[in-house]
Structure 1
């Protein structure tokens, strides 16, 4: 299970989650763990419900996940709605860890990518704690990179390795970024006009990223 994390909203986490999922061969499950600002379902073009909250001890994830309309090997689990989620952050964190832990145990050859909440909030802790590795996503600007560095540091504190960084809306890979984030920059995704994931250059960049990560198969 690979967590896709970033320091700020709008950094390109959701686009990277779906772009990377499309680039992989074989069945891939993408999960939205952001209860407050969910948008994975909208970008993927699937219904808002049922959600991740419907996965319980008796319900298989495959029975709940939505088929991606354009990528036959990709399925989507939207984030819980406000009516699904408990009021307290602690309870919500426990529930997210339980459900993600269930997905991790029952992968059955299915890659799992988790679109995490932005920043270093309590809600961001659960997916980072459960995942086998973290991919940090950030645009190439100082404020976003500083926040991404905090997210990377939090992941390491939780004992989850940071497998690399993805820079969005740029073709550059400045060497200082790797030093700041304390990990290698494994991809840079160029800025293009929407719809971003329909652009062949972007798709090629995510294909190269998928190839790079395939060597770390135990994380997926």
Structure 2
């Protein structure tokens, strides 16, 4: 199952949640932000998603194994220019993974819609603020089944029930947690650093929603 992690606004922690959701699902995580890659590519230089979309490498060649297996994206303008987004479905369908989590570009641009077009479902990420939730509602209009909504970096009681009713999917509050924020840079998902924490339980709840969606 291909799961797009999307958001109507940048800076809400979407890439961090995609990485940790991948850990909870034992999934491959793909950085599909062709112009502003966020997920780490590892110290070694090898093929990346730009190369795969340009037909210069097979998807399997670009996978970086680790605590969470990653298919990183390149960070050059030339690579982004040569990438053919029409190859994205083939690029993310890497053999051997029951789930593939695709970190999508933020916003409503055409390149943001490409991962949603190839995904079976999506997880929508938003900050628990009025303006961010409005962006999330706008992003919901993109044509992709919604598995769950993540209200990220929560410090107070969030309106999870109201958001869930408005968007027609379960909403989960993910607490503000510096261990989650550091997980990308340290390559240490919250499931490893704090498996009993409320944050890890929230990520597990998102993973459970994805599994329920895939069972339908």
- The TM-score with structure 1 as length reference comes to 0.79
Cα offsets for 1:150-181 (capped at 9, x unmatched): 1111x22xxx212221111126343222244x
**Among candidates 71, 74, 84, match of residue 77 of structure 1:** 71
Q: 1:2 to 1:97 in 2, by over 3 A?
A: farther
**Cα distance in structure 2, aligned partners of 1:116 and 1:16:** 12
The SS at the match of 1:86 is helix
**Cα distance in structure 2, aligned partners of 1:110 and 1:55:** 20
**Cα distance in structure 1, aligned partners of 2:146 and 2:69:** 25
* 8 Å CA contact 1:136, 1:164 repeated in 2: yes
Equivalent residue for 1:217?
214
**Cα distance in structure 1, aligned partners of 2:24 and 2:43:** 19
The SS at the match of 1:114 is strand
Q: 1:76 to 1:46 in 2, by over 3 A?
A: farther
Structure 1 position 96 matched with structure 2 position 85: yes
Name stretches of at least 5 consecutive residues in structure 1 with no aligned partner. Answer: none
Deviation at 1:84, TM superposition (A): 0.9
Structure 1 position 66 matched with structure 2 position 64: yes
Equivalent residue for 2:147?
163
Q: 1:32 to 1:106 in 2, by over 3 A?
A: closer
Structure 1 position 41 matched with structure 2 position 40: yes
- The TM-score with structure 2 as length reference comes to 0.80
**Cα distance in structure 2, aligned partners of 1:205 and 1:38:** 25
* 8 Å CA contact 1:173, 1:185 repeated in 2: no
The SS at the match of 2:69 is strand
* 8 Å CA contact 1:47, 1:66 repeated in 2: no
Q: 1:134 to 1:51 in 2, by over 3 A?
A: same
Let me know the Cα RMSD of the aligned residues. Answer: 2.5
Equivalent residue for 1:133?
121
